[in-house]
A and B are shown apart, each in its own frame.
Chain A
Amino acid sequence: MSDSSDEDFNESYVMYRHRREWSDVHPIKQNDGPNPIVAIAYSERFLDVYDYFRAILATQEKSERALELTTDALRLNAANYTVWQYRREILHALKKNLYDELQYIAEVIEDNPKNYQVWHHRRVIVEWLNDASKELDLTEKILDLDAKNYHAWQHRQWAIETFNLFDNELAFIDKLIAADVRNNSAWNQRFFVLKHLGLTPETVQREIHYAMNRIRLIKNNESSWNFLKGLLEYGDFSISQFPDVETFTEELYNSGNRSPYLLAFLVDMYTEKTLHIYETNSYDDPEVYARKVVELCEMLANHYDTIRYKYWKYVIQKFNADKELAKVGPNEQNEEKDEEEHLVTREPEKVNGEAQ
């Protein structure tokens, strides 16, 4: 990699050891540590720059030339967190114009978009400036190159949350989901925004339809199904509170779709129904739904999701156990619970021990 980085330097580049203005500095060689795991092949230029970097670090020189030296050192290796830290100390000591630094770090990020240190440097500078006006544009640019870049999303969420930049975020997410409906990062960002804006009943309705419409486009998409499920669970809703969702999923199934995500959703839905009927002793026949749960799990285990065979077998087993429990009825379950609580007061140590 040092060789590749050398390409970034122009032909007139002069080694630090040949520069007259650096003749007062005594370069410090790297202590390479134990062999063999750590022996390192450096390019000459890399050695030269870092020998001088160690020298200014040792003398704590904070000057214009030291700042330029860190630029060279970071061009050779943008992941070196010690150089970034020292660069910040220089910026601070020299009271540099931080907007210039913002411009510089944007360029470095564009070259190294998956590097912790460069994003962290950006964040520190934005904090020092208390100005996040360029962060949405920068992250958008980086997400244009890779819409799932974890660092860019982290930075964007931080800027939005810290500087209250929520206003146009849903529109931005729409654009990304329209470009790639399987972009899980964008779906995650949607949840982030919704939680901050507050999930009113109207919002939940709107979002459920948003998810269903995206599932209609591509049915076998983990992200949109997870979003739908997450939305229902987050609000502690039961699926039966949303007849639209029931109709939608049953119609998908009846039209012949066998996406594992759809089948898994139906397993949840019919499990909920079975248990609800047993728990409330209503007049419906719970076994109609119970049979569907087992049938769907078998389909998943044996045909549509065979790699997770053991998981689906487990789901059947657990469903049967939960069903028996639901049959006992909520009143008796409470009585059992009371007894357990009684135990807790009598023998607290033992119960705590079990919790471990």
Chain B
Amino acid sequence: MDFIDEDFIDHNKNNKNNHKKMEVDQNEELPTKFDMEMTIKYVANHGNDKNDFEYTMTEFLRMSGIYWGTTCLDIMGHLDKLDKKSIIEFIKNCQCKKSGGIAACDSHDPHILYSLSAVQILCIYDALDEIDIPALGKYVQSLQQIDGSFFGDKWGEVDTRFSFCAVAILALTNQMNLIDVDKAVEFVMSCVNPDGGFGSKPYAESHAGLIYCCVGFLSITHNLHRLETEKLAWWLCERQLKSGGLNGRPEKLPDVCYSWWVLSSLTIMGKAHWIDGAKLKEFIISCLDTETGGFSDRPGNMPDIFHTLFGIGALSLLGYENLKKINPTFCMPEEIVSKIYQAQILEY
């Protein structure tokens, strides 16, 4: 659940050497159709292009990068484009022998974010037994604090993202009994704001990405009844702007990744029909870069694999043809998740 949106990483800074797409030509016609073949190629070949700018500096989140790529390709029905064996080998090398946690990359320190990405990839490949699952469970257990919250790693940062990662890892590996779930729920519920939304910790501003983490957390722990569903769903539908796109906080610009964070949360709460799905679909497709096949945050910007996954994930939730169904809680193919764990989803 690494957030690579403009609230958490400065896109413009990362893109400052690339002028190609910095200025949007207002007259340029935006795409209205989504050519899946091209997007498959984009994801499968990602990183082969030595001039690829976004990925020159991202070893610190490589595990998440692989998760975005595998999920994306699986949803499009082309997981075979990646080399399963080398990916599994890579993950095995990233598990820390001492702590059991998994790092973003060989020789990095373990972190709960990348531990979840690794577990998600292994589930997709039906290869969980390739790593030491009990050791990973102990690692997650060791990160829970007295107030029920979770550290992201041994350095003690607390965030509702980590609560989500913890229960997602334990659910997918069938080890939920290792933590105090009730206390974990109490911590997440202490982060509710008067607008019904959630932030990263108590009193932090409501943010759609963090709302997804908290709603997903409650979905996994079967505690959705703790939510004021209507109030929260209303706040989430307010994220839809005239363009059809969704933003993450009031008065911010729309961004394709919020199509996922908002729509998945609404889907979990059975309220996805409250927004205008047709207009959202139009917005997402307008963010397709026809030159490469990747999706960007907004029309005309540089594409990247993160926005490509979340664009495609949202299209799958909207029932787009030829895409596999995606699970709104775990952001993985439904056919994979349904064999492993039943999260709580509210009906329409």
Contact = CB atoms under 8 A, between A and B. Distances in A.
B237 A311 contact: yes
Interface stretch (A39-47, A283-291, A323-331): A39-47
B237 A308 contact: yes
Interface in B1-58: 6-10, 13-14, 16-17, 43-48, 50-53, 55-58
Contacts of A168: none
Interface stretch (B175-183, B200-208, B296-304, B321-329): B200-208
Contacts of B105: 33
A200 interface: no
Contacts of A176: none
Given A35-B48, A77-B57, A150-B8, A310 B274 contact: yes
A192 interface: yes
B225 interface: yes
Interface stretch (A17-25, A91-99, A182-190): A182-190
B50 A82 contact: no
Interface string A123-147: 1100000000000000000000000
Nearest to B277: A310
Interface string B215-251: 0000000100100000000110110101010000111
B17 A184 contact: no
B193 interface: yes
B17 A4 contact: yes
Given A223-B251, A226-B250, A188 B206 contact: yes
A233 B235 CA distance: 15
Contacts of B48: 35-36, 39
Interface stretch (B106-114, B131-139, B142-150): B106-114
A57 B106 CA distance: 13
Given A114-B7, A222-B238, A231-B194, A120 B155 contact: yes
Q: Chain A contact residues (Cβ within 8 angstroms of B): what range? A: 35 or more
Which of A82, A231, A234 gathers the greatest number of chain B CB atoms within 10 Å? A82
A3 B194 contact: no
B240 A39 contact: no
Contact of B52 (A41, A188, A229, A310): A41
A1 B66 CA distance: 20
Interface in B66-103: 66, 69, 82-83, 86-87, 89-90, 93, 103
Contacts of A255: none
The interface size bin for chain B is 35 or more
A356 B47 contact: no
A260 B9 CA distance: 32
B274 A314 contact: yes
A48 to B, nearest CB: 15
B130 interface: no
Q: Provide the main secondary structure of the chain A interface.
A: helix
A308 B275 contact: yes
Nearest to A261: B238
Nearest to B209: A150
B222 A223 contact: no
A280 interface: no
A148 interface: yes
Interface string A26-58: 001011011111111111001000000010010
Contact of B250 (A77, A114, A124, A222): A222
Interface in A226-240: 226, 229-231, 233-234
B46 A36 contact: yes
Given A2-B56, A36-B48, A182 B250 contact: yes
A308 B193 CA distance: 23
- Of the candidates A85, A120, A230, A307, the one having the most CB atoms from chain B within 10 angstroms of its own CB is A307
Contacts of A234: 194
A132 to B, nearest CB: 16
Contacts of A355: 225
A139 to B, nearest CB: 14
Contacts of B90: 33-34, 38
Contacts of A85: 109, 153, 155
Interface in A179-226: 182-185, 188-189, 191-192, 195, 222-223, 226
B195 to A, nearest CB: 5
B204 A154 contact: yes
A1 B10 contact: no
B50 A41 contact: yes
A260 B199 CA distance: 25
Interface in A46-98: 46, 54, 57, 76-77, 79-82, 85, 88
Contacts of B66: 34, 37-38
A304 interface: no
B106 A33 contact: yes
Contact of B55 (A40, A77, A82, A309): A40
Given A79-B57, A148-B252, 20 more contacts: A31-B106, A31-B107, A33-B105, A37-B69, A38-B47, A38-B66, A38-B90, A40-B57, A41-B52, A80-B60, A82-B107, A116-B8, A191-B203, A192-B203, A223-B251, A226-B250, A307-B275, A307-B276, A309-B276, A311-B237
11 contacts: A2-B56, A38-B66, A40-B58, A41-B51, A46-B57, A85-B153, A114-B8, A150-B7, A184-B205, A188-B203, A188-B206
Minimum-distance CB pairs A-B, first 6:
A230-B194, A34-B86, A188-B205, A41-B50, A39-B47, A184-B250
Interface of A: 1-4, 28, 30-31, 33-43, 46, 54, 57, 76-77, 79-82, 85, 88, 112-116, 120, 123-124, 148, 150-151, 153-154, 157, 161, 182-185, 188-189, 191-192, 195, 222-223, 226, 229-231, 233-234, 307-311, 314, 355-356
